[in-house]
Chains A and B, each alone.
Chain A
Amino acid sequence: DQQVKQNSPSLSVQEGRISILNCDYTNSMFDYFLWYKKYPAEGPTFLISISSIKDKNEDGRFTVFLNKSAKHLSLHIVPSQPGDSAVYFCAASLTGTASKLTFGTGTRLQVTL
């Protein structure tokens, strides 16, 4: 029972263009959402997060959008750079659960020259 879903296993984008990674969730009780980035042979690292009281959070080239009614969030990377090539995991949590995160299956982003 996958409560957090990333339906696109991979995405290829040209350098300089926008990358859009999507994530859907089924548990309406989730109220905090995060994106993690993972390079090969390394552990995932935190990228950006958003609370359910917001619908957008921006950090430099990275913006996360949350649509609570659709139970959908997306990560936008503008402009995409070759160093952004990695696997991106979407995660969700419930406030008060001591950081317990439920992750999606990941989307592999490749930024081509």
Chain B
Amino acid sequence: DAGVIQSPRHEVTEMGQEVTLRCKPISGHNSLFWYRQTMMRGLELLIYFNNNVPIDDSGMPEDRFSAKMPNASFSTLKIQPSEPRDSAVYFCASSFAGTYIANTGELFFGEGSRLTVL
């Protein structure tokens, strides 16, 4: 079975450019998460969706960041304009959260998109 698929794996761009990161969650999962990994803060939750609806975007650092989930099999994280401090590894993760069943909290992560903003 395919896991969470992220693209691109690596992105190098110049300050001020728009960056779009893409994610395809595991089929059948109804929750999708975007995390950012930095040395100082570890894995930070940026935003998560449940049934394609954004539930909590309190981790989105600034208005320069936006995320969409137009359907159950695709999500994007956009940074516009990008800045050097946005350089990090961005992970997408998915899970199944049942309404009436306890969920274990286990997330399935993609391999990440390493972003470098010069």
List chain A positions with a Cβ less than 8 A from chain B: 2, 6, 32, 34, 41-46, 49, 89, 91, 93, 95, 98-106
Assuming the contacts A44-B43, A106-B42, asked whether A98 and B50 have C-beta atoms less than 8 A apart, the reply is: yes
- Give the docked Cα–Cα distance between A44 and B35 (Å): 11
Min Cβ gap B75→A in Å is: 15
List chain B positions with a Cβ less than 8 A from chain A: 4, 31, 33, 35, 39-45, 48, 50, 55-56, 91, 93, 95, 97, 102-112
How many residue pairs link A and B with beta carbons under 8 A? The number is 70
The residue from A42, A43, A91, A98 contacting B48, defined by CB atoms under 8 A apart: A98
Assuming the contacts A34-B106, A43-B110, A46-B107, asked whether A105 and B56 have C-beta atoms less than 8 A apart, the reply is: no
Main SS of chain A's interface residues? loop
- Give the docked Cα–Cα distance between A6 and B56 (Å): 24
Q: Which residues of A contact B95 (CB under 8 A)?
A: 98-99
Q: Which residues of A contact B33 (CB under 8 A)?
A: 99-101
Q: Which residues of B contact A89 (CB under 8 A)?
A: 42-43
Closest A residue by C-beta to B42: A105
- Give the docked Cα–Cα distance between A2 and B40 (Å): 11
B45 touches A100 (CB 8 A): yes
